[in-house]
Amino acid sequence: MSLNTTGKADMTRKFDPDDAGKPTLPVRVLVVDDEPMIRQLLTDVLGDAGYTVDTVANGEEAILKLRDVRYDFIITDLMMPGMSGIQVLETVKQLDPETEVIVMTGYASLNTAIECMKLGAADYLNKPINIDEIRIILTRMVEKKRLVQKAREVDFYKELSRTDGLTQLYNHKFFHQLLATEIARARRYGGEISLLMIDVDHFKAYNDNNGHPMGDAALQKVSWILSETSRDVDSVARYGGEEFAIIAPETPKQGGLELGERLRKKIEGADFENSHVMPGGKFTVSIGVAAYPQDASAKSDLIEKADQALYQAKASGRNVVVAYEAH
């Protein structure tokens, strides 16, 4: 699977029996060797196997190439005039640690092989070259890179599925999963949780007067302030629209109120562009706080109680923090 220019998966490539054993994505290889015959041999063999191959005659030329082109693999001789293969290996790993380097030598020694591996070489080959061995090594390395890339894509899409696109905070769906997990943990170990529901005051007025792009920028700034002011153990989410939520584990209601007040002051004191259009002339938030198990014993009840406290905060004039109180 590859990604096209639109960012969508490209599923149009069909299987061709002649492609068996060839890399499924363009793979660039740089061959560094002072022997023209070796360079030509590897160009022919690897080219037939589906790789894009460039060659240079020495280490200095290799480093110049590397500044302009990114290679997946480098096959370098160790003993060359001028810059040695070990120096090439060291420089490659400094420029791009993910580039795999295979070293070759006609003067094999165990100490040299160990030194190369310590410096990050992927493999070590003796001359004369065994073409089948090089094919096998590269095929194995391409598969390893493919698996690593696939794992990264899985992690990326997993992160994407739980992240709000605008603010990069946790999204509404993942917030519910997190809160359920935290309540289950608190129930098991006897902990306390504060839930803060946060709403931007008069956000529609800000959006209507300044336009949606500036409104989006303001929400991003609010998100950043919430994340930076909260503790590392707190989970900050965009609940929807201009509403946010923070799960504060191991925090009684008083601690939630104190956190809410810090957040309220930070946002009130921040510089939001054109905030003078807001009623009251500044950008503010209202915050409602409820706690588990003091106010609720289940997730839905806790959210409802925090929402009720938020409603009270807005009804009492906004730009305040209100804790839920049973009536």
Catalytic residues: 242
The CA distance from 74 to 80, in Å, is 15
36: CB partners within 8 A, 6+ apart: 57
Q: Phi, psi at residue 15, to the nearest 5°? A: -70, 135
Q: Spell out where the chain has E strands.
A: 2-3, 9-10, 28-32, 52-56, 73-77, 100-105, 123-126, 193-200, 235-240, 243-249, 285-292, 321-323
Question: How far is the C-alpha of 324 from the C-alpha of 44, rounded, in Å?
Answer: 75
For 280, residues 6+ apart whose C-beta sits below 8 A from its C-beta are: 201, 202, 318, 319
CA distances from 168 to 7, 54, 165, 223, 292 (A): 18, 41, 6, 8, 27
Between the CA of residue 183 and those of 59, 162, 192, 200, 267, what are the distances in Å?
60, 19, 8, 26, 28
Buried b (16+ CB within 10 A) or exposed e, 169-199: bbbeebbbebbeebbeebeeeebbbbbbbbb
Task: Report the chain's C-alpha Rg in angstroms.
Answer: 30
Among the listed residues 135, 105, 189, the one whose alpha carbon sits nearest the alpha carbon of residue 21? 135
The answer to whether 53 touches 73, Cβ cutoff 8 Å, is: no
The DSSP code for 17 is: G
Q: How far are the Cα atoms of 40, 77, 91 from residue 116, in angstroms, in the given order?
A: 25, 12, 13
